[in-house]
Structure formats: C-alpha cells, structure tokens
Amino acid sequence: MRRKRSSITLSNLLIEDYAAEGKCIARQDGKVIFVEGVVPGDRVDIRILKSKKDWAEAVPIAFIEKAKERVDPFCAHFGVCGGCQWQMLPYAKQLQYKQQQVEQTLQRIGKVALPTILPIAGASPTTGYRNKIEYTFGNKRYLLPSELGNEEISSQSNVAGFHARGFFDKIVDIDTCHLQTSPSNELRNFIKALALQKGWTFYDSRAHQGYLRNLQLRLCRSGELMVNLIVGEDKPKQTRELLEVLQEKFPAITTLLYTVNTKWNDSIQDLQPVVFSGKGYVEEILRGKDPEEIYRFKIGPLSFFQTNTSQAETLYRLTAEAAALTGRETLYDLYCGTGSIGIFLSRKAGRIVGVEQVAAAIEDAKENAKINQIENASFFAGDVIDVCTDEFFAGQGRPDVIVTDPPRAGMHETLIDKLLEIAASTVVYVSCNPATQARDLQRLDRVYQVTHVQPVDMFPHTHHIENIVQLKRR
C-alpha cells in the first residue's frame, strides 16, 4: 500500500548547501528542509514528504533556476535508475561535498578533537570502475514520465536493468550502463534479446514465477570474467542452451555459472552456484606502493571483494600509511572478510591475525594467504567478542595495531568495550559510513585520540564515501 502523497508545497526556495547522504538543505521560516535531487544554487518548488517540528524532507517538483555549476549527465538513464545520483555535478565538486560531509559529520556527531582532515583521495577512472555488477530481469517495466500515456509502450514488458527506486517489482530498462566496461552491456542486452526471441519468461516478483531473474558479472583487472546467471525456475535444458550460446558468443568469459533461486528474495548467499565452464572463480590483482608488491585474490560467486579495484588499492595503501607499521607489529584485522586488508599489509607487519564472523569468508582468506605465499597471517572465524579472549592472546599475541572495517552500522558497543580493554597502541578505523564512525569515535575517546583522518572516494557520481581514521592510545 503506497503512502498518500503530501499536498504541502513550497515555492521558490534556494538550495543553500549540501547536507549528507545525497540530500541538500533549504530553509523556510527557520526550519531546515532536506531536499533530494538538487544541488546547492538551485532554486526550486518542493513538495514536503515528511514534516517535524524543526525539520522536514522534500522532493523538487519544479526548477525555477538551476545552479550554474551543473553539468549535463553523461548517462541516458540518469535520474531514473538511481544508481549515479551526482552526474549533474562536476567531479571536483562531488569531491568537495564529500570532504565537507566527512568534516561536518565527525564534528557534529563525534564531538571529539580532530586534526586537520587530509584532502579526499579521488578516483580515476570515474566511469567503468566496478568489477562487480548485478542486473535484474523482470516483466514489469518502470515507465518514465515521458512514456506515460504512450500506448506503444506497456508497463507489462519484459526488461533487463535495475530495480526502480522505491519499487520492488518495477525494473528500469537499461540500454547502456557506464558502471562497468565491455562486455557488460553486451551480455545483458544479448540475453534479453535471445529470451524475447525464444519466448522465455522474465521473473514476476509479485507472482513469484518466471525464468530469467538476475545476472551477476565480475570483470577483473586480471582480464578474467565471471558470469553467474540466476534463474527463477529450474529448467536444465533451457539453461544449458542459453549458457552454451553465451560461451560461444562471448569467448571473454573465463568462468560461467548458473544459480537456481526459487526463493522470494534475490539473495543467493545461502545457495550453491553451479559451475558450467571454467574454474568456478576469478582472480583479481592488487598492487602495493612498491612495484614488486603484487597480491592475487581468489573471488568466488559468493565472495566479498571491494567493487572498485583501483580505489581498493588506494584505500589499502592509505590504510597501511595510517597503520604506520615497522615490520615488527602484531596486527589484528577485525571484520577481515576474505582477508584483503590483512594480506595487503602482511609484508609490513610481523604478524597478521584476521577475525571474521562469516566462516566462508575465513576459508577464502586462508586460500588467499596461500595464493600469495603469506606465512605470517592466521584467520579465525567467530565474533570478535568471543574470539579475542586472554587465552587467544596467549596463543596469538596481543595486538600492537588494530584495523577495523565494520559494516555501515558501525561497531557494536560490546566490541568498542573490547577495544578499550585490549588498548592497542594504534587503531585504524576504516568506514563506509562517517555517521556511525563518528558515533564510535566518541565512544573510543576516553582511551584514544584521533590523530589522522583521510577520506577516500570509492564510488564516483554517488554520495557514498569511505573514511580512514587513525587513533592513538592516550
């Protein structure tokens, strides 16, 4: 059931500044209004979506005047699929606002003493940077405003692209996505065209039926390409026919898999992809600061790996700088995932100890350590709170340096208490959410002071940002 639209509108408001999470600020009679889809300098009419005593949320309904610094978006699907919200801003301006977001968030929420925040590390390239992407097939097309009322375009159409923002069942039909390089678009469009020719069904998320469901692609710097076709119905003959044609038409595919997902949700983490051809995984390459520093990582269809390979190198190099290792330290890598940060830092540390709750990720980490002939790293599955006991420290050594890279929700209070108890001399906190990071810094403040802050842009043309903070024990 969709919420009834608010009838409250305000006219001719100036968008004054950037706030966070892709929203900007306007003011009316002292009230702060957070507006989506605008940039500072725009003058707009808005519709209020939510209103509280001191603040409100709104969307623009008409542009009276557009900011002078706006640029033309390079993607034909801008503003519809929701994937790249900032294409109307020059990249330098995007970086400026992300830097501002980190500074203001740490000051407003963290309320701790801060050093001068270093300039944000920008990305290059700013398009085609994703090594992983997932497309969705569906039988309900999201109609653009210009398409409404056009009898030649039906919303009951088989399409391939991305979920429309705010709709679980409507798909934006994508012609060209600029997030991943060739043959990403060619693969999606070929499968769609072949399925239409053959009369194969596209997934209906309401009726919970249909054959074509998702397409996951991993395109690595190493040149390896993994394709995982996810189908909503188990039709072995049909699947074999499709995969054989894909292998023939796209010889660049080094690993081809399929996954049968008959669940209500799109997650395949609890399913087992089937290898049709190839070795069942791809290898990606990360390079350290020194030319001889080359690391290889095995990535399976269910593995986590940073989706921007080039900026992952930047992030890990800057994390290494913040860790300030001399070659003797015992470094604990918490939320270590498949071990990428720990392995990247292993040649600079005396010992690496990785801890991660997901057991499958720990198996990947151990495999990656073997691939890179890393003998000073050990990885353990379990919750940090349960793993890091006095007995564990007796066997593995107490950490001199801790690197923590938690999910967007940040660190649980019990983990922060554990960090305060461990009292390592240095903590490097890598975060994809400056707001929860700032909250956690406040909790750590009685033992640690912030000595280094380095923002990193991992996802150009979006409002997402990574931030590295070095903390030193007082």
pLDDT in tens, the chain (474 residues): 344 456 789 999 999 999 988 899 999 988 999 999 999 999 999 999 999 989 999 999 999 999 999 999 999 999 888 789 999 999 999 999 999 999 999 999 999 999 999 999 999 999 999 999 999 999 999 988 777 777 777 888 999 999 988 888 899 999 999 999 999 999 999 999 999 999 999 999 999 999 999 999 999 999 999 999 999 999 999 999 999 999 999 999 999 999 999 999 999 999 999 999 999 999 999 999 888 899 999 999 999 899 999 999 999 999 999 999 999 999 999 999 999 999 999 999 999 999 999 898 999 999 999 999 999 999 999 988 889 888 998 899 999 999 999 999 999 999 999 999 999 999 999 999 999 999 999 999 999 999 999 999 999 999 999 999 999 999
User: What's phi and psi for 315, nearest 5 deg?
Assistant: -60, -45
- Structural domain boundaries in the chain: 9-70, 96-125+306-473, 132-283
Would you say domain 9-70 falls under CATH 3.40.1400.10? no
Same fold across 9-70 and 132-283: yes
Nearest to 396 by CA among 383, 385, 380: 380
Q: Which long-range contacts (CB under 8 A, 24 or more apart) does 95-102 make?
A: 95/120, 95/122, 95/457, 97/18, 98/455, 98/457, 98/463, 98/465, 99/455, 100/18, 101/18, 101/20, 101/434, 101/463, 101/465, 102/434, 102/453, 102/455, 102/465, 102/467
- Annotated active-site residue 84? The verdict is no
Among 81, 177, 336, 432, the active-site one is 432
User: Roughly how many angstroms between the first and final C-alpha of the chain, as a whole number?
Assistant: 53
- CATH among 3.50.50.60, 2.60.40.2480, 2.40.50.1070, 1.10.357.10 for 132-283: 2.40.50.1070
Task: Please provide the CATH number assigned to the domain covering 96-125+306-473.
Answer: 3.40.50.150
Q: What does the buried/exposed string (b/e) look like for 335-361 if buried means 16 or more CB atoms within 10 Å of the residue's CB?
A: bbbbbbbbbbbbbbbebbbbbbebeeb
| Whole-angstrom distance, CA of residue 90 vs CA of residue 83 | 17
Do β-strands 351-356 and 426-431 pair in parallel, antiparallel, or remain unpaired?
unpaired
Among all chains, which residue has been given the structure tokens 């640029």?
A: 71
- Alpha-carbon distances, residue 224 vs 196, 278, 301 (angstroms): 28, 10, 13
Q: Is-contact 105 438, C-beta < 8 A?
A: yes
